[in-house]
Chain A
Amino acid sequence: ELKVEQNPLFLSMQEGKNYTIYCNYSTTSDRLYWYRQDPGKSLESLFVLLSNGAVKQEGRLMASLDTKARLSTLHITAAVHDLSATYFCAIRNAGGTSYGKLTFGQGTILTVHP
């Protein structure tokens, strides 16, 4: 069974601090996604990572992918309150009858406080 596990599930950070969210997955996939979700809102795509060693950065967020370890990280640099949200990683089914189906991690609820 395909599994995607994130940790931590809850993260309370002080503004200005750095932290990393981890995403482990159980089987190969052709791409990994990071999404942000604000309360009561839908999913906002942050990053799509395609290949081993891929690194993408947008503002204070940087995502990386290690396909050999089946691990992706989302690193937060100098956190600000606006980053408070729930972050999901997901992998895409690369074949079979459910081509394109996404399997999500549990989500990490990030709260940034002064």
Chain B
Amino acid sequence: GAGVSQSPSNKVTEKGKDVELRCDPISGHTALYWYRQSLGQGLEFLIYFQGNSAPDKSGLPSDRFSAERTGGSVSTLTIQRTQQEDSAVYLCASSLVAGRQGGVSYEQYFGPGTRLTVT
């Protein structure tokens, strides 16, 4: 079946512009995670959604970053007034539920990522 998809696959933007990154999770997956992979910081967690709610936004690096999820499905990560340090690969992952439920553990499936370059 279809996996996690992300769009665009590559995005080049000028410093100061806003960008939107999209994640389509696997159908029926209630948990959705955004991670960022950059040269300086490695792979780091940004935000986690359970349904349309975000119980943990602790990884968002500044108030220029925001994310939403609608209909318990598609999520959009928005970066306002982009800076060069925002250049990174943004990975999205989804799982049926977050972690464990009813004694059954559920794994995350990663999308291909969006490579963002801020010039």
- A17-25, A62-70, A77-85, A95-103 - interface stretch: A95-103
A41 CA / B107 CA spacing, docked (Å): 19
* From B35, B42, B91, B99, contact of A99 by CB (8 A): B99
Number of chain B residues close to chain A: CB under 8 A? 25
Complex interface bits, A39-60 against B, C-beta within 8 A gives 1, otherwise 0: 0011101001000000000000
The reply to whether A98 and B43 form a contact with Cβ atoms under 8 Å apart is no
Known: A93-B99, A100-B98. A31 touches B105 (CB 8 A): yes
The reply to whether B108 and A103 form a contact with Cβ atoms under 8 Å apart is no
The reply to whether B112 and A98 form a contact with Cβ atoms under 8 Å apart is no
A41 CA / B110 CA spacing, docked (Å): 11
The reply to whether B44 and A101 form a contact with Cβ atoms under 8 Å apart is no
Known: A95-B99, A98-B48, A100-B95. 19 other contacts (CB 8 A): A30-B105, A41-B112, A43-B110, A88-B43, A92-B99, A93-B99, A97-B56, A98-B45, A98-B58, A99-B99, A100-B33, A100-B48, A100-B99, A101-B33, A101-B45, A102-B35, A102-B93, A104-B42, A107-B42
A99: chain B residues at CB < 8 Å are: 98-100
Tell which of A88, A97, A98, A100 has the most Cβ of chain B within 10 Å: A100
* From B33, B45, B48, B111, contact of A42 by CB (8 A): B111
Residue of A nearest to B109 (CB): A45
Tell which of A31, A48, A90, A101 has the most Cβ of chain B within 10 Å: A101
A105 CA / B112 CA spacing, docked (Å): 19
Closest CB of chain B to A101's CB: distance in Å? 5
A95: chain B residues at CB < 8 Å are: 99
